[in-house]
Structure 1
């Protein structure tokens, strides 16, 4: 009898890889839903360069600023979006200033925090909580309030903190479904933001700047 070769063929490898990928696609550890904003293209490019300087390799599509986590579940929640839509219906939501200022690193990764006064973003955050409460939606992990920041990556790192200066006005509020364990963000809801309230609109587009702290 001819000898048989038990080594999988290339087709069998392709099929096996497909089924393994399909299984991975079906399952996340859990789903986290949060309201937040994403950087505009100019800020995103700046964050990519800063993240590289900080030794981070996170997908730029994942850059965001979380305002509040509103749900966590083992399975997708098909009822959450309609509730959020109802809470925000007919509301005039205005853009707010995000003043990014200082980049720090540590054993949990690197992030950039805001600088100076945060009146605009804190006002928006409190308004958002009041609106969500009308539909029985309460934020999670916010006992100490909002501490605005953008995560640049989760790789442990050690470097001297350095400064950046970038004033940013988001143009839309997003409801994002995070597939925790799969590093995937799905935008499931969008609400355009009106121009900033009178007195907050910048006269000129601020130039991005970042430098090592002295």
Structure 2
């Protein structure tokens, strides 16, 4: 946690940098339909913040430009394919509601491992305890736990984004975008 206070409260702000894949506009519509049909939840994730996290790095203070530059250079070097992302399972509990792949996605896993390795070599460790588990969070705080299949939501992901998240302020700032594939 940082000592920076949020603008209008005494809440501490956590700085988080993460690489992610963003869903297509069509997929966002399909995700929103499922999210909006959940019933009572603590909060929904807005359309513009929907993403699949590949790598997370927490910071105690505002990230310095040198760190962002190192992360950006790794992203620029990673030759990743455009890849099909497919979500077919909805899981909810008191913490969050997630859309997850119905099947293993080896191309996504290999790309994520390549990115994480490049960042480690560049001296950028992942967040302590972070384990890659592909999903898109769509809401927080369900009363009941559940797991069920949903109609497949699929998109061709052709862009990697680097995001600076101000966790206590629920703010996302896009720091970089890199094309994937040919």
* 1:176 matches 2:157: no
Q: CA deviation at 1:169?
A: 2.1
- Gaps of at least 5 residues in structure 1 are 1-21, 196-214
- Which is greater in Rg? 1
Query: For residues 193 and 92 of structure 1, what CA distance do their matches in structure 2 show?
Result: 7
Contact 2:45 2:137 (C-alpha < 8 Å) held by counterparts? no
**Length, aligned pairs only:** 172
User: Equivalent residue for 1:128?
Assistant: 115
Deviations, residues 171-205 of structure 1 (Å, cap 9, x unaligned) = 1101001111111111001111114xxxxxxxxxx
Q: Which of residues 25, 38, 53 in structure 2 aligns to 1:66?
A: 53
Which TM-score applies when normalising by structure 1? 0.72
* 1:32 matches 2:26: no
Higher relative contact order structure (alpha carbons within 8 Å, sequence separation ≥ 6) = 2
Give the aligned CA root-mean-square deviation in angstroms: 2.3
Query: For residues 67 and 88 of structure 2, what CA distance do their matches in structure 1 show?
Result: 34
Deviations, residues 65-95 of structure 1 (Å, cap 9, x unaligned) = 1001023223343322210122234442212
Query: For residues 162 and 141 of structure 2, what CA distance do their matches in structure 1 show?
Result: 26
Structure with the bigger percentage of strand? 2
SS of 1:101 mapped into structure 2: strand
Cα distance, 1:89–1:109 mapped onto 2, change above 3 Å = closer
Query: For residues 188 and 67 of structure 1, what CA distance do their matches in structure 2 show?
Result: 15
User: Equivalent residue for 2:174?
Assistant: 187
Which TM-score applies when normalising by structure 2? 0.84
Query: For residues 159 and 130 of structure 1, what CA distance do their matches in structure 2 show?
Result: 35
